């Protein structure tokens, strides 16, 4: 899909949330995309648009919309992120910005793609998209103070690959993206925050505090809707999860785990006992 101009792009012009989310998802400019997500969230909160859960929307080409850079490479080819140099710290902040930009697209895809869910599902994923957009803008702004912009370094695409694999199965999407891949952020952020703070980047540490706070809620949303979908379909959640991990080739999780954050995100004690 061709990139739209500022004058042409209006995510709320139809009055329907899911159609607006798809328009945001297709846009390739990170600043315009994140601005549009904020406008979409405001319109929904004001009642100017509705969730339109039953609307049939054909999938267009161009998903996800993203800029020409960063170059996407295999994870092992992404450069090292040493805290000892300004360049290394910039590479780390860039990697975090890439994760959050992908997370915006992820939330928008969960919002528009799956018809027939309760209205609360769409409200939840709009909240996630808006918060992820804020995270991206905070990181992009901080990256600018380090002399770089989003796109200056290579990045990988492993998170979006799982989004694509689960595009036909909302239960698999909830199981394997928010409550599996994104939940790893709950484990990874505290030690990462300690490293950047030790390196003297207190601004990045403060941003990571915001991200961790919000990500607990995002994972909880995935957990809650996964449980709802299992109950609706008469599925046993743990056995179903194991089957989905095998079917969609999801990574097997390894510790250490942030059990306290995972509890707040809705993981049960029985499920947490499988991690330790």
Superfamily of domain covering 74-272: Ferritin, core subunit, four-helix bundle (1.20.1260.10)
pLDDT of 152-173, one tens digit each? Answer: 999 999 899 999 999 999 999 9
What pTM did the predictor assign?
0.94
Task: Say whether 72 sits in a helix, a strand or coil.
Answer: strand
Write the burial class of residue 92 (CB in 10 Å: 0-12 exposed, 13-18 middle, 19+ buried): buried
- Contact yes or no for 50/14 (Cβ under 8 A): no
Which letter, b or e, does each residue of 199-218 get, where b requires 16 or more Cβ atoms within 10 Å of its Cβ?
bebeebbebbeebbebbbeb
pLDDT of 9-45, one tens digit each? Answer: 566 666 799 999 999 999 999 999 999 999 999 999 9
Domain ranges of the chain: 74-272
């Amino acid at each position: 899909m061709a990139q739209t101009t500022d004058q042409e792009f209006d995510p709320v012009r139809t009055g329907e949330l899911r159609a607006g989310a798809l328009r945001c998802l297709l846009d390739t400019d990170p600043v315009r995309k994140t601005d549009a997500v904020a406008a979409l969230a405001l319109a929904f909160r004001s009642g100017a648009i509705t969730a339109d859960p039953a609307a049939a929307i054909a999938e267009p080409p161009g998903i996800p919309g993203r800029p020409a850079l960063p170059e996407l490479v295999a994870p092992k080819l992404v450069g090292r992120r040493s805290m000892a140099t300004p360049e290394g710290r910039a590479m780390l902040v860039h990697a975090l910005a890439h994760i959050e930009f992908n997370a915006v697209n992820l939330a928008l895809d969960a919002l528009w793609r799956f018809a027939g869910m309760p209205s609360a599902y769409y409200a939840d994923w709009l909240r996630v998209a808006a918060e992820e957009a804020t995270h991206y803008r905070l990181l992009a702004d901080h990256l600018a103070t380090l002399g770089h912009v989003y796109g200056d370094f290579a990045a990988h695409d492993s998170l979006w690959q799982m989004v694509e694999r689960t595009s036909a199965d909302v239960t698999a999407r909830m199981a394997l993206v928010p409550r599996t891949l994104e939940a790893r952020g709950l484990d990874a952020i505290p030690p990462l925050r300690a490293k950047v703070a030790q390196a003297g980047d207190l601004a990045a540490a403060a941003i990571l505090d915001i991200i961790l706070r919000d990500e607990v809620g995002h994972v909880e949303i995935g957990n809650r809707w996964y449980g709802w979908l299992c109950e609706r379909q008469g599925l046993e959640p743990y056995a179903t999860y194991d089957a989905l991990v095998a079917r969609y080739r999801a990574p097997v999780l390894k510790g250490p785990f942030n059990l306290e954050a995972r509890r707040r995100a809705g993981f049960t004690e029985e499920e947490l006992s499988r991690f330790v």
